[in-house]
Amino acid sequence: MAMRIGQGWDRHRLAPGRPCVLGGVTFPDFPVGPVGHSDADAVCHAIIDAVLGAAGLGDIGDMFPDTDPAFAGADSRDLLATAWGAVRELGWYLVNLDVVIICEGPAISPMREEMRAKIAATLGSTAAAVNIKATRGEGMGPEGRGECVTVQAVALLEDA
């Protein structure tokens, strides 16, 4: 049995007039949302980079170029499903995933279980294997000023 580990990191600016979607979950009452070519779901993007990295498949920009109009406004859970399909084709399964979301808002904890369930379903795994943590910037840096959301993810895969 082989095991592989991968990390992912993503950051998106937060701006008014954008739906706030993180980890496939919409935060309907939050006044700003991540800005990007797709729905800019930084949680899904960091997870994509973690699982692609573990499988040696490059990164999200290789698979979904932000110059491609096909991905404009894309639902990042669909992108995650596509990336995970490529990882699965190589015979990898998810052992576990650990995610850290760094932002002043929205408050992640009320939506944490929904987020875990959606990500686990996309990865053919169980919520127990998907851990979501959230922390704040304590007033420092772009996260602390509420200018952006930053996400780190680590994924462990095994081949049996």
Minimum distance from CB of 96 to Zn ion (Å)?
A: 22
Write down the residue that tokens 């894309």 correspond to: 74
Helices 76-89 and 42-55: crossing angle in degrees, nearest 10, is: 10
* Chain centroid, CA 79 distance in Å: 10
d(CA 13, CA 116) in angstroms, rounded, equals: 23
CB-closest chain residue to Zn ion: 45
- Interacting residue with Zn ion among 4, 6, 8, 10 (CB under 5 A): 10
User: 3-state class of 31 per DSSP?
Assistant: coil
Nearer to Zn ion, 35 or 121 (CB): 35
Nearer to Zn ion, 71 or 92 (CB): 71
| Stretch of 41-49, 62-70, 86-94, 98-106 lying at the interface with Zn ion (CB under 5 A) | 41-49
d(CA 66, CA 60) in angstroms, rounded, equals: 9
Nearer to Zn ion, 37 or 136 (CB): 37
- Residue 112 lies near Zn ion (rule: CB under 5 A): no
The footprint of Zn ion on residues 44-83 (CB under 5 A) is 45
Of 75, 66, 93, whose CA–CA distance to 21 is shortest? 75
Minimum distance from CB of 44 to Zn ion (Å)?
A: 8
Q: Which residues bind Zn ion (CB under 5 A)?
A: 10, 45
